[in-house]
Every structure is written in structure tokens, then in C-alpha cells.
Structure 1
Amino acid sequence: MVTPQQQCSPPAKDGDWNNYRDIIITLYLEQNKSLKEVMRIMRENYHFFATEKMYKIRFNKWGIHKKLRAPQVAELLAQRGRRAAAGKSTVSFVHGRKIDADRLEAYLRRVSPTSRKAITDILVGNVVPTDAQKRSVYEIVCRTPSPEPNPVFAPKRVEAPDSLRLPEDCMQIVQSYVKGALENVWPLTPDKRVICPLRPRTWLDPVSSARQLFVNNFREQGFRMLNITFESYREVLLRQDPSLLVETCLALGALLQSGPGLAEAFVKYAYSMSQITLGPRHPLHLIFGRLNAVGPAEMPGLMALIIRGFLQEIQANYCLKPTWLATVYRAMLNSRFIGADTATRYMQELVTDLNSLSPLSEHDAAKKAHNLDDMRLLQDHLSWITNFHDKPTEASMSAHTLAATRGRKNPRMTRFSCYNMLRTFPTSRGVSSQEAIDLMRASLAICEEEFGRNDNATVTLLATLHGFLARAGRAEEAQKVREDFETRWNEAMGDTLGGRIA
């Protein structure tokens, strides 16, 4: 019974719906309660007040329905058909509820001619689904069913102690995510190599830029650069490149070293955005929820575990490009996720694997040249770790690597060297102020040529150069560089708003 006090209570707002979304979905779908029961429980237990019409509008917005809809049936049929063609058995779930073949067949027997035509039009591509219809299929998962355990011989599950439950939980979610993505999301080459799209710039670049801007006291610009990352993250989530989870962890590692609260703000954003974009039961959302639940001190260890588990799960049966792995290992070292000895061992294993490949014939000249380029890049990474990491010469050697990779058709390595140089200059006691300024001016010319006048790396390099000139007492030069920085910054922000920066 609704009391007069409850009748006067304000209805739920958008923020309230987001906060209680998981609870409402669990009651309505997983526990199969009626809408009136859900309304009562939410009202009495959570003081959450909304009319039946408001619930129905919200369910439609979320794509939540107990009965199957035509777009969901079309997606289920398409996924099951692709998997059957590949010789895979399938178990399907919609919003976490199992949809067996009998239920799907029963739906198709009873469906109206109008709905049947809608399903056919979607399957053959005659219609483009609306946003609401797209949301209704986000929660569909089709995977290979787990084998049924023998009730006599199945071992009893041993519960992990409290200190291990979170890592164990994360590893299980990571394994589920990788298996599902390998089956349905990520493209593969015929030789079972996972394809990581080569992008000269990624959404991680603004994170690296923001870090340097904060270090050089350009805080307003640093927060603006982070906002660029936040704004582009939804598209990154929808794309779900194989590098997404690793790059999210690496971004958090960089932000942990940039200032208090920045990493926490980003992981909260990733957690919320993944719920909206992918749904509350998607493995990525569940992983980000675990990261959101720990403090800054525990976060690096958990992220290192997630990345390692992710890479191991893929490489158990598939392959990743060795140069991409090398870049990941180097970034993990920079973020203190692993030590230098571990990174060195990983790099050496990559070099050994590449050396063990069968010799190529003269007919494979292009592939042979490609492998040689890969080997040279791996050797560059290995040499940096063993000879320069955490040493006074690291910044100057990164500058020399930046020059050496110029024009080698590997923009990621060039960009990586630029940001590594900027990151390590403050601790490079073996480099004088004059040498640092000379190296930065030379690197600035390279970045302008390789990336453009208003690229993130170029503009961030100017901000760091300004700081060194100011500390060296060269006020007039520092002022000119600052003016140049502000001009390019405004141009870069204009390019970003115009959609011309990736």
C-alpha cells in the first residue's frame, strides 16, 4: 500500500534510473518478476518511485523485453547460422536468459506475417535497424555450451581465499571475454593471427599528452585533453578492437602517475560507458567494475594480472603480432606493471620466436622484408630495456630513437619514442638543460614532419620545451614558445572539434 508520504515523493530521475538499472533488470528478467512486483520492491526496499508508464518507457530505452522481438530473433538466427556453418554448437542468451532452440522455433511458428517479414528484411539487409532495435540486440550472447559435468566424478569446487577471489574472478571474466570475441567479434587471418588494426594515432595519444601537460603545469589544457579521450571512448568501445582492454589498462597506468583522482575518474567513466554501450552483463563492463571497486594502490597489480591473462588466453591457440606485443610490454614497464627483468624476458622470447620461423624463399621477398623490419623493431625495444631504461641516458636515447625511426613507416614507434623522451627528461640527470633543449628542438622538427604542426605529440613537445626554457632562465625564448604553443593548441582544438584528429 502506498502511503501519503510516498505519494508526495518525487519520481525517479535519469541518474536514479542509472544507479538502480542492474537491480531492476535482475528483478524483472533474471528473477522473472512481474512489472507490478518490481515496482513494489523498488518502492518499498529502495524508495524508488516511478509509474508503470515510466518503467515501460525506460525498458524500451534500455532494450529490455521479456518477449523476444523481431530484431533479436534476426540476430539470434544470424549468429546461430554463422556458427553452424563453422561446425559449432550454440547456446544463446538474451539479457542473461537462456534461449533454447525450442523457444526460438516456437516463436517462429507463432509469429505474425508482419513480424516474419521484419525478420527477413533485417536478415537480408533491406532495412537499417533503429537505435532502439540496435540496443535490443546488444545483450545477445551466442557461445559454445560448456560440457556437462559427470555427477559422480565431478570434483568439488574449492573456494579461493578472500585475498584471491578478486583476481580469480577477473581471470574468469577475461577468459570469457576473449573466447566470445575470438568467436564473434575479432577478425582473424587464415593462419589464426588476431588482427589488430594499425592506427598511426589512437585514443591513447591524448592520455600521453595530458600526462605531459599536467607535468608542465598546463592543467587546463591537460583536462581538455582528457575530455577528448572521454569523448572518443564510446566509439572505441563500440569498435571493440583486440587492443581495447589492454589499452584501457595502459591508459589507467599512465593516469595513475599523472595526479590523484585522474585514474579513478577514467575507470568510473569506462565502467559507466561500457554499461550504456555494451550492457550490464558484458565481460568488459564486469572487468571495469572490478577495477572501479579497488583503490589506486591495488589497481596496478590487478591491471597487470588482467593484461597477462588476456594475452595468455589468446596465445594459447592464436597469435598476436610480435611488434604489437613488444609495444605492450614496454608500456607495461613504463606503468610499473612489470619489472625490467620480466620485460626483458618477454622481449627475448619474442625475438627467439621470430628467429625460429622457417626460412622464406626468394618468392616471399615482401614477407621476408616485413619479418626483418619486425626483428629490427624488437631489437630496438630490447636494447632500450637492457641499456637505457631507468638510466640518466634514457631521455637522450629516446630522442635518438625518434630520429632513427624517422621515415621508417612505423609512426607508432616514432610517437612512442617521443612520449618516452618527454616522460623521462625530468629524471635524466645525465642530460644538461642545454642538451635537453637541443634534443627537443630537433625532435620538434621531426614531429612536425612526421605527424603535422598541430598533432598531439608536436604540441605537447612545445609545452615541455617551454618548461625547460623557463627553468633555464631563458624567459624571452620561453615566452615565444608559449605563444607558439597557445596558437597551435587553439588550432589543434579546432581540428578536434571539426573531427579531423583521430
Structure 2
Amino acid sequence: MSTTPTGHNGWATANDWASQRDYITTLYRDQNKTLKEIMQTMQDNHQFYATVRMYKARFQKWGIEKKIKAEEAVEIFRQQTARAAAGKPTVAYIRGRRIDPDRLQRYRYRAAPLISKKIMRAEKGADDEGSNSRISQVICRTPSPSPSPDTTDSNVSISPRIEEPTELRVPHECMQILRNFINGAFDNGIWQMAAKGDRAEMNGAFTWQHYVASSQGLIRHGRIKEGFSLLGMCFDQYKLQLQQPDSMFWLATYKCAIVLASQNNKLGDAFIDYASKLTALILPRGHPFNQLWSRVVLTGMSGINDHAGAIFESYLDMWGRHVNSRETNTTNDVQGAFVFIQLHCTGLLSYNLLETVIQAMITGGAISREAAEFLLQETKFRLALVSLGRRRVKKAETVTKEIIEWLDTRPPSAYPDLRCKAAWLMFEVKERKGTQAEAVQAGHNLLKLSQEIYGPSHIQTLEAISAVENYCRKIGATAGADQMGRDFESRWRVFRDTADAKSNFPQQIDQPWYYRSIELGEKVGYVQETVELFERCLKLSDDSP
């Protein structure tokens, strides 16, 4: 290999390319490096200098171009689906180069509508015309195991292929299982998105997830016994959810593990152990949820955290394709959009996917302008909360006032949940910035509004009482805190009695934005760019003829 600067003018010559071809091809194919990494390796180790354009020209000439062609992608998805149905893991190669699963998913998200339709048809086994001749450059196979340690035949000369590491294989297999599960549930009519005026089908997951988050809120406010009691109720209700899962069940399960682990790693591990064992007891061995758990437990919480983004993207991409292919009402579409927003603000969903979904919903009329403005205010609520978490109290106060000003332009009975959450924000702003008297007054305003909107023994009201009581104890207002403590105790008994009588949660939560705090850590930059995305989309909607 060349160890001296290339070419008379410092750039690689034709002879240099010829001498380095095998090595560059090896870097490109076997080590799956990006072009930038290849260029840097060649410069640092071999003083081989060439431009991006020169590399691309050589790759095309050598027949190892990087771009995935549409027909190749369709064929890979066709083969992956067929192999997953047979329980086979898959690695895909194009022209001898292994294709990274995440890259394949990114291709899918950004594909043109026509290509997306072809992919979905291929996954369902309905080939388009002319697709009977398979793409010869595409190879999908099972990762090869390393040779058995007791292989002693000296005449066998092989170069064993290394099996994909667990941390790479597991999320890819989970995506395949989820894709088949979602396709089958929708196609067989197990899941039906609500018709106009009907109750949304995804309420179960939202209700269960809401109470898990509420249990953590009670614990944070000092109501530890009640918080763990509510968490125990959530674990009990998981069994019912497992027997009749809705379309958001697995996403809620995955999120729950992350939420609990963010508070305490042992809680996250305990939930994984409980949920996986319960699934094995209740559902048949071959059920998709058992297949999923058998893989997830291999990586534990670290794997869940590392691959949550990729799995959420795959899940929501498939879910969104089915929802958009059917007649759905605005409530369902807004709920789905909110989940996309929430996960992107947490950093678990790419901006590209969020932008694609939101732009399509607004410009295509899937959600009305009023609904889009509501989602903008909900995102501003998240911006105010995350600003408070970063001690940017002035920013939080400004955004909170913007939300309240928007609400003042709507009928007094409209958006009760957002009104209550704005009261929460103002209480927390005053707690950090205002006088004690102002904070106490804001707390009483919150309690009054919560009781009017939800009722005296609703979980939202109970959590509000616990928060204001906790603040009063901090500032030494013991008389007021003691009274709120007595109110909490009596109302909690009503809450528990109702739960016992129903053998279920006392209230069903049918909106994902019901809960008033952030369940997972959110990044201020992600939330800000989501706000700007909505503002831009609404402006484009105004400017369009």
C-alpha cells in the first residue's frame, strides 16, 4: 500500500486508485464505514488524498455505489417480512454490502408516497406488476453463527462471519415483530380507529400510562405510600391491558419501563421482570409479545434506553401508515400527532419523521387549523415546563402567559385540560419567582380549577393537593398544609374505594395530553424546534391559496 503522498500535485492518481482499490472496497463493505470516515482513514494512515466527488465517481465505476435503489429497498422489506413470519432474523446485503437496519428504516421514512405504497404491498405479499423477477443484487439471510468449538477438521478452511452483536440484532428483530403484529391487527380488524363521534380505541394505554406517571408525581410530592399504592394498582391493571391490548399498548409498555427507570433503576428492572413473566404466563409462547420480551430481556434497561428511539420510530411509522390509510376522525389524528410530539421532545423520535407527519397532517387537512393551534399551545406548555426545569423562570413565565392569552380567545368551557395545566405552570412559576403569598394564591387557584374540572377525588385533583400541600410545608404554613393533608386523606379513600368497586382505575383517560407534567426528560432544543415547526406549518397554511 502507498505510504507516501499521492500524485504529483497531492491528489490520488489513476495508479493510486488502482493500487488502493481492494483496501478502500474492504473499508466500504466489510467495516460499513461512512464516506467521511473512509476519507479520513485513507488520509491519516496512507496519505491518500481525494475529494468526495472523486470517491463517488470511483465507487460508481467499481459498482459499489452507496445509494439504495427503490426496487432494492422494496425487495428487502418483502424478504424481511416473509422471514420474520417464519421466525427468522435477517441481515440484508446489496451488492455484497451489509445494510444497516437503521439506515433502511430512515430510507423508509423519507421514501416518496409511491415507494411507500410499494413497500407496504410487498410486506403484505401483494407484489406490484413486474416485481416477479427478484433483484439479484439483494441478499437477505440469517446471520451465520461462529463455527462450533469442537470443529477439529484441519482440512476445513473457513473465514467465519461474526454474528451481529445482541445490541444490534435485538432492536432490528423487535422492529420486524412489531411490524408484523401491527399489520395483522389492523388487517384482521382487531384494532379499529374510532369513527366520528365514537370513543377512541387507544384509551386503555393512555389511561394506564397516565396513572403510572401520576404515581411518580405523588412520590415526588412526598405522598410515598399513596404513590406506591397507585403503582401497585397499575401493575395489577397491566394484566387486563395485556389480554386486550390496543394499538398503543406496546409503546406504553416500553415508555413505562423508561419512566420508572428514570426515577429508580430498580423500579425499571422490576417492571421488566414482572411484565415479561406475566406475558409468558398469560399469552401463548408464540405470541408477538412473548417474542418481543424474549429479546428485550437480553439487553435490559440499557438496551431499552439505547434503542428506544429506533423502535418507537418503527412502531409509529407503521401505526401512522395504517391510520392514514383509513377514515379516521380528528380526535384520533390529534392524539397520534401528540404522541409524535412527545417522543420527539424527549429525543426518542427524529425531527425528520416528526416534520413529515405534522406537515402532512396540517397541509392535508387531517387535523384542522384549530387542532393544530391547540397542539402548538400544548407544545408551548412543554417548553414552559422544560424551561422551569432549566431554571429559566422568566422564559417559562412568558410562554405561560402566551398560552393563557390564547385560551382567553376561546370559549370558557374549551380546552379544560390545558387551562388546568396553565394553572399548574403559573403555580410553579410563582413558587420559584414570586412571593410566598403569590405562590399560595396560585396554588389555591390551581386547586379550585382542578376540582371544578375533574372533581374532588380525581387523580388530577389529588396530585394538585399533594403539590400545594408539599409547598406549604416547605414554607412553614403548617396550618394550611395540615388542612390540605386531611382533605387529601379523605379524598384518597374515596379514590381507592371507587377503584376497588370497579376493580379498575376510577377514571378513564382518553387524551394523551391529560397529564400535566413531563414523564420523560425533554430537551429544550427539541421542544423549541417543535414549536417553530408548528408556527411555520401554520404560516404556510395561511399563505396557501
| Both structures adopt the same fold (TM-score exceeding 0.5) | yes
Deviation of 1:471 (Å): 0.9
CA distance in 1, matches of 2:238, 2:285: 17
Change (3 A) 1:437 1:208: farther
CA distance in 2, matches of 1:255, 1:158: 35
Report if aligned partners of 2:362, 2:368 keep a CA contact under 8 Å in 1: no
What is the aligned residue count? Answer: 347
Change (3 A) 1:276 1:406: farther
Deviation of 1:398 (Å): 6.2
Q: Does 1:246 align with 2:251?
A: yes
The Cα offsets for residues 178-204 of structure 1, whole Å up to 9 and x where unpaired, read as: 11212222115799xx96445797122
Deviation of 1:435 (Å): 4.3
Q: Does 1:376 align with 2:373?
A: yes
Q: Does 1:354 align with 2:361?
A: yes
For 2:458, the equivalent position in structure 1 comes to 455
Q: Does 1:332 align with 2:343?
A: yes
Deviation of 1:454 (Å): 0.5
Q: Does 1:230 align with 2:239?
A: no
Deviation of 1:322 (Å): 3.8
Q: When the two structures are superposed, what TM-score results if normalisation uses the length of structure 2?
A: 0.54
Deviation of 1:298 (Å): 3.4
CA distance in 2, matches of 1:428, 1:329: 31
Amino acid at match of 2:173: D
Secondary structure at the aligned position of 2:301 is classed as coil
For 2:171, the equivalent position in structure 1 comes to 167
For 1:203, the equivalent position in structure 2 comes to 208
Secondary structure at the aligned position of 1:280 is classed as coil
CA distance in 2, matches of 1:379, 1:372: 10
Q: Does 1:155 align with 2:155?
A: no
Deviation of 1:315 (Å): 3.0
CA distance in 2, matches of 1:201, 1:176: 23
CA distance in 2, matches of 1:496, 1:409: 29
Q: 5+ unaligned residues in a row in structure 1: which ranges?
A: 1-90, 97-142, 359-366
CA distance in 2, matches of 1:294, 1:407: 49
Q: Does 1:183 align with 2:178?
A: no
Report if aligned partners of 1:402, 1:414 keep a CA contact under 8 Å in 2: yes
Report if aligned partners of 2:215, 2:228 keep a CA contact under 8 Å in 1: yes
Report if aligned partners of 2:378, 2:418 keep a CA contact under 8 Å in 1: no
Change (3 A) 1:407 1:483: same
The Cα offsets for residues 55-85 of structure 1, whole Å up to 9 and x where unpaired, read as: xxxxxxxxxxxxxxxxxxxxxxxxxxxxxxx
The Cα offsets for residues 118-152 of structure 1, whole Å up to 9 and x where unpaired, read as: xxxxxxxxxxxxxxxxxxxxxxxxx9669999798
Q: Which of the residues 470, 489, 492 maps onto 1:489?
A: 492
Query: Percent of aligned pairs with the same residue?
Result: 17
CA distance in 1, matches of 2:295, 2:142: 22
Report if aligned partners of 1:196, 1:243 keep a CA contact under 8 Å in 2: no
Change (3 A) 1:375 1:207: same
Q: 5+ unaligned residues in a row in structure 2: which ranges?
A: 1-81, 88-122, 144-162, 509-545
For 1:470, the equivalent position in structure 2 comes to 473
The Cα offsets for residues 141-172 of structure 1, whole Å up to 9 and x where unpaired, read as: xx966999979886253746314112212211
Residue pairs, 1:78-477, within 5 angstroms: 155-157=139-141, 159=143, 161-162=164-165, 163-184=167-188, 185-188=190-193, 196-197=201-202, 202-316=207-321, 318-319=323-324, 321-332=332-343, 336-338=346-348, 342=350, 348-357=355-364, 371-384=368-381, 389-391=386-388, 392-393=392-393, 404=407, 417=421, 421=425, 425=428, 429-430=432-433, 434-477=437-480
Secondary structure at the aligned position of 1:274 is classed as helix
For 1:64, the equivalent position in structure 2 comes to none
Report if aligned partners of 2:423, 2:446 keep a CA contact under 8 Å in 1: no
Report if aligned partners of 1:419, 1:457 keep a CA contact under 8 Å in 2: no
Q: When the two structures are superposed, what TM-score results if normalisation uses the length of structure 1?
A: 0.58
Change (3 A) 1:472 1:273: same
Change (3 A) 1:199 1:157: closer
Secondary structure at the aligned position of 1:155 is classed as strand
Deviates more, 1:293-302 or 1:383-392: 383-392
Greater relative contact order (CA < 8 Å, ≥ 6 in sequence): 2
CA distance in 1, matches of 2:460, 2:195: 36
Deviation of 1:232 (Å): 1.5
Change (3 A) 1:211 1:330: farther
